[in-house]
Chain A
């Protein structure tokens, strides 16, 4: 059964493997440059405010050279990898057998439908997880100085291509593809549905699920009205919206709102001659805002939770993949045509 799985999927497996190898080589080739740069700019082993200066120089230096493009390429590839596993590995797995009728050949051999699918799911899922995991873990090590300098390791896009979660996305996408193929019985519709579902999972995870998995921290401080990150005034109603500065390194900010002393969200109104267009600049409005006794409420996930959150998300993704795989096994045993 393993021989057959290899024989049938060696072409997609080898081409995907070749592609991943290319990324690994690109990472390996730029590895010394990134560590040298981190050492020469003083980022390695820095402490206190020296770190901020070192980080700025380091990031400026990065722009000139291959490291930046390599980082973007590999990160984007890792984001697209689940879709590739789902549509090209997963979706045709059962759908091709059903569409071309070869399921009647293979299930006439001395192999039960359940075992046939189980082996294919295990081999395919494990290969997808291994490929994605290998690239992601190497990228995590490779990009460690960049992440330190930027302090954005936990931000949604970076989070999805770091650590162990790419393993979960790859495995789940593969199983989604298999399920779609089994239910739709046609390759092309199964591929299209898989693409949509995988993208939906990748979008829904940071928007809906990850905030629930994380333990967020709420901080309420006096609003620094002199340095707002955003400010707007509605001339009709006089409503004013102000968002305080979000200088929170190494944290994923879920919510940044301005509230009044009694906890309600602040929305003005402000007198038009203070904050309106005739006031001649934002200074008067900022002074007025500072006198309103406003607070800034920030809900964030601290960067220290990175690995805990990674493992939780991986667990959830793998659990979903296993559950879906069990549904497939139950279904193929019960009913085929």
Chain B
């Protein structure tokens, strides 16, 4: 089986700045993947490498079993800030898609435009952020790609438009079973639609896996202070914090935690992501931003 996205040692440098360092990933097909991380973590770079807009400095990337090139019929991409041609109408954008994509599904595109309440005669430059995002999603989705990449599609939207956009995305994936990779710096956006999560911090992949697995394998341990910590074999400490009396750990372990001196709690997805962000020493400011 070929994965939706396979990366090996993928690195992208702009001059001396490293945007993505030694990224190794294997995302299976058929998932709605959330790519989460603070701003500047390399999410956009990874997605643009995946759609062929950028070429890697080193390493290898394979999307749907082939090296990605821009102009590929199987990859759909909604870029950050959802760029559209301001001087062209909504209907023009659909014609653009129809002219440039052999696999274009015009009935689907028109249905979606009608559903989202966009006026086909309106200039795209006059659309609100939410409407523009809907238009960009429609153009990308009507291409019928095997993998749809969305780069922070809801970052600039108000909560209502955000919900509308995610609703539309969920309907689309439920209908078509298309693989989706969507980035965001907010876990809350991803939690509702994603069944697979990648945490990218400081240009490195911290954790990647199915949401259910992540939820069942991460635990918060609280107990009397012990430093250094040795929670046992097969247990990986993600984050640790100590007060004078108490130690609190976030650990990853597939096996249950047997040690009775620990109080074991389940963790929400957001807690897990935050643990990875702070545990990686990315800095408190970024964590706070993630909690916003």
Contacts and interface: CB of A to CB of B under 8 A. Distances in A.
Nearest to B140: A108
A104 interface: yes
A335 B57 CA distance: 12
Interface string B84-95: 111110001001
Contact of A110 (B55, B73, B80, B83): B73
A71 B216 CA distance: 84
B100 A111 contact: yes
Interface string B256-274: 0000000000000000000
Contact of B53 (A1, A3, A107, A109): A107
Q: Which 8 A-B pairs rank lowest in CB-CB distance, beginning with the nearest?
A: A104-B79, A112-B71, A109-B100, A108-B77, A101-B83, A107-B70, A110-B73, A110-B101
A337 interface: yes
Interface residues of A, number: 24
17 contacts: A4-B99, A8-B88, A101-B79, A101-B81, A102-B83, A104-B48, A105-B139, A107-B53, A108-B51, A109-B71, A109-B96, A110-B71, A110-B100, A112-B70, A115-B71, A336-B54, A337-B53
B136 interface: yes
B102 interface: yes
Contacts of A113: 70-71
Given A101-B79, A104-B83, A336-B53, A109 B97 contact: yes
A3 B95 contact: yes
Given A100-B83, A101-B81, A115-B71, A4 B96 contact: yes
Interface of B: 48, 51-55, 69-73, 75-81, 83-88, 92, 95-97, 99-103, 136, 139-140, 143
Contacts, number: 81
A1 B83 contact: no
Contacts of A230: none
Interface string A151-168: 000000000000000000
Contacts of A110: 71-73, 100-103, 143
Contacts of A4: 96, 99-100
